[in-house]
Amino acid sequence: MANRPAHVLDVGNCDPDHGMISHMLTERFHVRIDRVMFVPDALARLRQNRYDLVLVNRLVFADGSEGQDLVIAAKADSALRDIPIMMISNYEDAQARAVAAGAERGFGKASVRSESTFALLAKFLPPR
């Protein structure tokens, strides 16, 4: 993974949040980032591309759907279940539900630049 950038899929974040998260990721890690706005589009991308990490917003900005739906669908699909997914949410109950459904422990937007978030991401992404 050191020679190639990790491939990250950002799902459901509004423009300002996508920008904030992307900036942090590209500053700290060797990544390339794709973005989709809907859960069905994310599932299609996951079937077409190899992703090292998926970051999904608790509430998909474009339609208000639950990011949890992506976790559940991906973990139920044998071709996708091994792809790590992190929930982006400041709410502990949303993080707990995502982890219970098979997601990795995620982070909230309030802690995007915290050392604890960098440590979570470093499990999946190579340093810059």
Q: How far is 43 from 113, CA to CA, in rounded Å? A: 28
pLDDT tens for the chain, 128 residues: list them: 458 999 999 999 999 999 999 999 999 999 999 999 999 999 999 999 999 999 999 999 989 899 999 999 999 999 999 999 999 999 999 999 999 999 999 999 999 999 999 999 999 999 99
What domains are defined for the chain? Answer: 6-122 (3.40.50.2300)
Residue 3 confidence (pLDDT): 81
pTM for this prediction? 0.95
Residue 1 confidence (pLDDT): 45
Residue 40 confidence (pLDDT): 96
One DSSP character per residue, 30-98 reads -EEEEEESSHHHHHHHHHHS--SEEEEESB-TTT--BTHHHHHHHHHSTTTTTS-EEEE-S-HHHHHHH
